Amino acid sequence: MRNYRKELWFETRSRREFVNITGEVEKCVQESRITEGLVLVNAMHITASVFINDNESGLHMDFERWLEKLAPEKPYSQYEHNGYEDNADAHLKRTIMGREVVVAITEGRLDFGPWEQIFYGEFDGKRKKRVLVKIIGE
Ligand code: ZN
């Protein structure tokens, strides 16, 4: 069995952002030269997510509005966590959107359904943060 590990770095300009990272994950699969296996992609921070969904801007706005209804950023004082920090909403949003995805690799390619794309979901950005890509297989 072969294995491969890489960290992808992000620094978004705004506090919240969705970044399509499908191309970068595909590049990792090519680099790994693993043709049959699994790729794990996970946020290495507890205020960011990795998730799979449609690459459609309206849907991304819907996610933003839905998450703001569930866990509004402000007022900061509504959260117990926000004594020293102001990112309680980001921890909650990350938990809803998930930590990681696992995708099958078949014949050297990501074995996706028709509309599946991989996204990095940032909920407390404007600083350097990482995503781990781990691939195992042969
Ligand atoms: Zn925090």
CA 124 to centroid of ligand 1, rounded, Å: 9
CA 53 to centroid of ligand 1, rounded, Å: 26
Whether 20 and 118 have beta carbons less than 8 Å apart is answered as: yes
Whether 135 and 27 have beta carbons less than 8 Å apart is answered as: no
**Count of helix runs (H) and strand runs (E) in the chain:** 3, 8
Structural domain of residue 68, as residue ranges? 2-137
Q: What's the CATH number where 97 sits?
A: 2.60.120.460
CA 119 to centroid of ligand 1, rounded, Å: 22
pLDDT tens per residue, range 79-88: 999 999 999 9
How many structural domains is the chain composed of? 1
pLDDT tens per residue, range 87-135: 999 999 999 999 999 999 999 999 999 999 999 999 999 999 999 999 9
- pTM for the model: 0.96
CA 84 to centroid of ligand 1, rounded, Å: 8
pLDDT on residue 102: 98
